[in-house]
Every structure is written in structure tokens, then in C-alpha cells.
Amino acid sequence: MALTDDALDKIKDLIVTGELRPGDRLPPEAELSERLGLSRNSLREAVKALDFINVLDVRRGSGTYVTSLSAEDLTEAVSFLVDVHASGSLREILEVRRIFEAETAYRAATRIDAAGLEDLRQTIRDTDPDSVESLVSHDFDFHATIAKHAGNDYLAAMLEAVSMKTTRARTWRGMTDPGAIERTLDEHRAIIDALAAGDARLAQSMMILHVTGVQRWVDEVDVVADDAPGPGAD
């Protein structure tokens, strides 16, 4: 189990057992990390993840609080965390995505124009390097723009459908994988350089390396695809 996952479990246990109730403020970071036997870094990442899905509320200058845990909050938390290790189906989806992405990059290298390249560069400039939400939005725009210039509307549509199944994994990686945001942007810059050079083979290779990196991360943490069935589901 990853350190961040261990931290998530321990914080959730405090909430489930009632030790932390809705509206309660979490103890200071140093105190809580020592109490739970966690590193401050893994605790910080867990708090960030739970804040993202509305289980915790991080208020600048005030502290971190347990939310009201409404039905909506709990539903989102369950779909995002409880089922997160339930299936390996994401691996198959990423295999399909790698095939589609490699082909779109190869085709786009000989078709994309200056305006298209500038659109790709602009998606990077518009990305907040400290925001997971911004990265996920950029990632979709970046890959969709390449697909748009591949010259095959059916290929672009199929890639979009596959990519939508990986939203949860992209978000989870951005929250829990140190350096994921900057690494993703660097890989995207390398893909743009290959496209700008009109080198179809290089663009294809850079794209394969990019998606393969995501696959390796999935193998390590065993996350699932969006809409994948949970434990015991049909």
C-alpha cells in the first residue's frame, strides 16, 4: 500500500469511528502525523486528496475541518476512494488509449499547422502548475487538439470516448504522484517539439513513452477506470 493510501485510511478511520465529527478541526499537522505514525508529507497529500473530494475542508489561515459529510459528499468520496483499487480494467483501457494516441500523433505530425501548434502551446501556458484540476483540463484539451489534426474524425471520436474513462485516474495521479504535473507538461512539450519538426515517428514514440508512463504508475497503485464496477458488482 502506498504511503498516501495508508494516510487516507487512517484519517478515514478517525471519521468513521466518530473520533472526528462533522465540523471538527483536525489537530495540527505535526501532532496528527506523530499520532498516526505518518510522515508529514504523506499526511499532507492525503489531506489534499480528501479536500479535493469534499471530505475535508482546508481553510487558509484557519485550519482543516471535517465537512458536513452530506449524502452528496459521501457518494463522491465512495466513488473516488472506496472503489479506487477494485479493478484492473483501467490497464486495458490504457492499452487501447496508447494505440489510439500513437496513431493520432503519427498522423498529426504531417498535418498540423502553425495555428494548431500554437493551440497546443497555449494549453500549456494556461495550465496552473499547482492545480490538479487545471492539469486534467489541459490534458484533455492537449490530446483532443492533436486528435483534431490527425485527419480522421472517427479516430478522434474513439479516442475521446476512451479518454473519458480515465478522468479519475488522471486526477488521482495528479494528487498522489509527486512531480506528476511538471512531468506531464515536460512530456507534452516534447511531443509538441516532435510535431513541430514534422517527425511522425518521433511524435509517435514520444506519445507512446508518455502513455506508457501512466501505465507504469497504474501498475504501481492499481487504480480503476471511471464507471468500473466496485467490489461485488455485477
Write out pLDDT tens, residues 171-211.
Answer: 777 777 778 889 999 999 999 999 999 999 999 999 999 99
Q: State pLDDT tens for residues 52-94.
A: 777 888 998 899 998 876 655 555 564 555 444 444 577 788 8
DSSP 22: T
User: Residue range 36-51: average pLDDT?
Assistant: 85
Of 4, 5, 24, whose CA–CA distance to 14 is shortest? Answer: 24
Tell me, which fold does domain 74-226 have in CATH?
A: Four Helix Bundle (Hemerythrin (Met), subunit A) (1.20.120)
Structure-model confidence comparison of residues 162 and 184, the more confident one: 184
Q: What is the pLDDT of residue 232?
A: 39
- Phi-psi category of residue 63: left, alpha or beta, with phi > 0 → left and psi -120 to 50 → alpha: left
- The architecture (CATH level 2) of 3-66 comes to Orthogonal Bundle (1.10)
Give the global pTM: 0.62
Is the distance from CB of 48 to CB of 5 less than 8 angstroms?
A: no
* Distance set, CA 198 to CA 44, 151, 163, 205 (Å): 43, 15, 25, 13
Residue 56: how many CA atoms within 13 Å on its side-chain side?
25
Specify the pLDDT at position 17.
78
Cell of 3: 504511503
- Give me the residue spans of the domains in the chain: 3-66, 74-226
**Euclidean distance between CA atoms 166 and 223, whole angstroms:** 10
Residue 154 near residue 180, CB atoms below 8 Å? no
Buried b (16+ CB within 10 A) or exposed e, 16-45: eeeebeeeeebbeeeebbeebebeeebbeb
Q: For position 88, what pLDDT does the model report?
A: 54
CA 3 to chain centre: 17
Q: 22 phi and psi, to 5 degrees?
A: -50, 130
Mean pLDDT of 32-43: 89
Specify the pLDDT at position 4.
59
Q: Tell me the pLDDT tens digit for each residue of 117-156.
A: 999 999 999 999 888 889 889 999 999 999 999 999 888 9
Looking at the predicted structure, is the pLDDT value of residue 45 above 90?
Answer: no
Domains 3-66 and 74-226 share a fold: no
Cβ-contact 55, 66 below 8 angstroms: yes
Q: Do the beta carbons of residue 196 and residue 120 sit within 8 Å?
A: no
Q: Choose the weakest-confidence range: 39-48, 66-75, 218-227.
A: 218-227
pLDDT band at 166 (very low <50, low <70, confident <90, very high): confident
Residue 21 CA, distance from chain mean position: 29
